[in-house]
């Protein structure tokens, strides 16, 4: 199953039936669906359950021949959990992180190719038109991934993805649990859900708003990408009002990344590019079309 197409189905093997409600709620809270619950007494039926992943909370299962045989052949992720209890402080948070990462693990298995570089596209007022011009001017097949952080009201992100994808060789998708930072695509960070890129190139999307006054918080997106991808990352600051993003540009530069900005005369509002330039980190400025030409040349020169 492609994790982007719907809820992950998680099978649950429990040693203590009393824990069923507890684990079922935790699975649902992390965007997954309970496929089935198997008790140790019925462990022989585990192979009959269709699931995208398994959560095993049964220490004695390893002593069962049917289970060990199934485990040797199963081709989906398996999480072993020690079990909930008052003596296991923080178990819910630990297990939640594992469940959130499941979709990414599954997607990585079907999309093993990593992007050559990862670039943040940062924008506010006038951003959709400028970013669309930039993407339409790019040659196809650069094997670069884009993470698009656009200040936008909630509910308009679906329309934004449609607008950005039209006429571009780099289709846009909305960030979700397990989304990949994939080559030749644009991953749109949603304004109402804080997203975080992991070291393996997948996303964890938290069911909470971005901190601060901006939605999404471009500073956090840039800092996150810079920390993960270093010299193989960059950011382009497009038209926009305010200064979101400028605080993280020095980190991008320190990590070896590249910082560019749209020229003021081609912006709807030039505050964001102006603030970026004022940091002293911007090495190139141009129109959206010129930035596309520059990126193609940059990638050709480096690779």
Nearest to 210, CA basis, from 222, 220, 223, 224 = 220
**Cβ-based neighbours of 197, under 8 Å, separated by 6 or more:** 147, 181, 203, 224, 225, 228
The radius of gyration computed from the CA coordinates of the chain, to the nearest angstrom, equals 22
Question: Which two structure tokens, joined as six digits, stand for 144?
Answer: 């670069």
Q: Are 159 and 182 in contact (CB under 8 A)?
A: no
* DSSP β-ladder status, 233-237 and 258-262: parallel
Judge if the upstream peptide bond of residue 205 is cis by omega within 30 degrees of 0. no
* DSSP β-ladder status, 203-205 and 195-197: antiparallel
DSSP secondary structure, 114-155, as one string: PPSEEEEEEE-TTHHHHHHHHHHTSPS---EEEEEEE---TT
SS3 54: strand
b/e per residue, 229-267, with b = 16+ CB within 10 A? beebbbbbbbbbebbbbbebbebbbebebbbbbbbeebb
Active site residues: 124, 151, 244
């Amino acid at each position: 199953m492609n994790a982007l197409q719907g809820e992950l189905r998680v099978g649950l093997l429990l040693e203590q039936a009393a824990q069923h409600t507890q684990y079922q709620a935790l699975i649902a809270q992390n965007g997954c669906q309970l496929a089935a619950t198997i008790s140790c007494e019925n462990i022989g039926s585990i192979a009959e359950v269709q699931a995208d992943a398994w959560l095993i909370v049964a220490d004695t299962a390893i002593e069962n021949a049917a289970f060990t045989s199934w485990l040797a052949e199963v081709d989906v992720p398996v999480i072993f959990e020690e079990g909930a209890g008052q003596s296991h402080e923080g178990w819910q948070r630990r297990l939640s992180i594992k469940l959130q990462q499941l979709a990414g693990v599954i997607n990585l298995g079907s999309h093993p190719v990593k992007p050559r570089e990862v670039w943040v596209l940062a924008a506010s007022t006038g951003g959709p038109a400028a970013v669309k011009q930039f993407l339409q001017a790019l040659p196809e097949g650069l094997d670069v991934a884009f993470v698009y952080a656009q200040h936008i009201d909630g509910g308009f992100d679906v329309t934004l993805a449609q607008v950005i994808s039209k006429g571009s060789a780099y289709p846009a998708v909305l960030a979700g649990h397990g989304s990949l930072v994939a080559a030749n695509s644009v991953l749109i960070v949603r304004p109402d859900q804080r997203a975080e890129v992991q070291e393996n190139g997948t996303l964890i999307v938290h069911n909470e708003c971005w901190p601060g006054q901006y939605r999404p918080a471009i500073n956090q997106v840039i800092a996150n990408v810079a920390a993960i991808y270093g010299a193989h990352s960059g950011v382009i600051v497009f038209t926009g009002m305010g200064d979101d993003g400028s605080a993280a540009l020095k980190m991008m530069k320190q990590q070896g990344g590249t910082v560019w900005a749209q020229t003021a005369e081609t912006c709807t509002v030039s505050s964001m590019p102006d603030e970026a330039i004022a940091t002293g980190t911007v090495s190139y400025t141009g129109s959206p079309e010129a930035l596309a030409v520059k990126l193609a040349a940059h990638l050709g020169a480096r690779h």
